[in-house]
Amino acid sequence: MRKKLMLFIAMSLTLTILLTGCGSQKKINSAGTTQTTGEDTFKVGLECGYAPFNWTQMNSSNGGVKIDGNAEYAGGYDIEIAKKIADGLGKKLVIVKTVWEGLVPALNSGKIDAIIAGMSPTAERKKSIDFSDSYYQSQLIMVVKKGGKYDGASTLKDFSGSKITAQLNTFHYSVIDQIPGVIKQTAMDDFPAMRVALQSGIIDGYVSERPEGVSASKANSDFKMIEFTDGFKASEEDTAIAVGLKKGSTLTSKINEILKGISQDERKTIMDTAIANQPASK
């Protein structure tokens, strides 16, 4: 009888330890060291190829963060904002490099907790995900060849008859239709592709936000950024940049509080630093 009682006590203690362990946010790996679980991390998805908002680099210089499952690092404006949000949430930042088209599916599947990738909170995107308050407000410009036919342009009418493109699945591409007589070209995957097309004369220009215009002109002395006196008409939701979150996410209100603590002056400083530090400007 005593043996049965002792066995029962031992089993009860074992069960209690196991149940207590289930409530922990830490686990012991095969090497006997503590690992951080998903509850302690803030997983952010981005392209790591949209400078100066985000880019890929080979080391941790200028505040670069290692990309999950990759030997490379990510840097840029989005990374700095992601750091501040992760710190405010009390979580470890994890960068998940994801192609643009895969960001929303990755968010909705739970692969990432948020999209911080220079994404605008458009009405179409709001059908499938939620957004935080904006963390950047963009200005639309045109990148052209310096000394070329459109070097002196200042209005949309000046681009009549030009071959213009923009990045695939962005509102930049849709505003091209506002140019009278434009020869709209097929949308391209990213800015490097558009820069090559512009340099080779395949296109006359491409629409982007001001940071890319500054970046392109710094990276290549043959490029020039056109800031319009009479430019594109776009809604505030299109020109705003916000954090993408899963529908009904409890993180939304917390992130909004954190963003309120980042002043406009600080945001401008972060962007200016990102433009100076991006690999393309070296």
C-alpha distances out from residue 270 to 67, 71, 100, Å: 20, 25, 23
Q: 37-137+240-281 — its CATH code? A: 3.40.190.10
Indicate whether 30 pLDDT > 60. no
- What percentage of the chain's residues is helix, strand, coil (to nearest 5)? 40, 25, 35
Say yes or no to pLDDT of 134 above 70: yes
The answer, as to whether pTM is greater than 0.85, is: no
Mean pLDDT for all residues in the chain: 87
Most confident of 8-17, 47-56, 169-178, 195-204: 195-204
Distance CA 137, CA 125 (A): 17
Taking alpha carbons only, the member of 65, 58, 28 closest to residue 43 is 65
Residue 116 — pLDDT band, cuts 50, 70, 90?
very high
Domain ranges of the chain: 37-137+240-281, 140-226
Write the CATH number of the domain with boundaries 140-226: 3.40.190.10
User: What is the C-alpha to C-alpha distance for residues 254 and 135, in angstroms, rounded to an integer?
Assistant: 14
**What mean pLDDT comes out for the span 147-175?**
95
- Residue 37's pLDDT band (cuts 50, 70, 90): low
Question: pLDDT band for position 22 (50/70/90)?
Answer: very low
| pLDDT of res. 247 | 98
Please give the structure tokens belonging to residue 83: 């750091």
More confident residue, 256 or 5: 256
CB contact set of 37 (below 8 Å; sequence gap of 6+) = 25, 26, 27
- Rounded CA gap, 267 and 219, in Å? 23
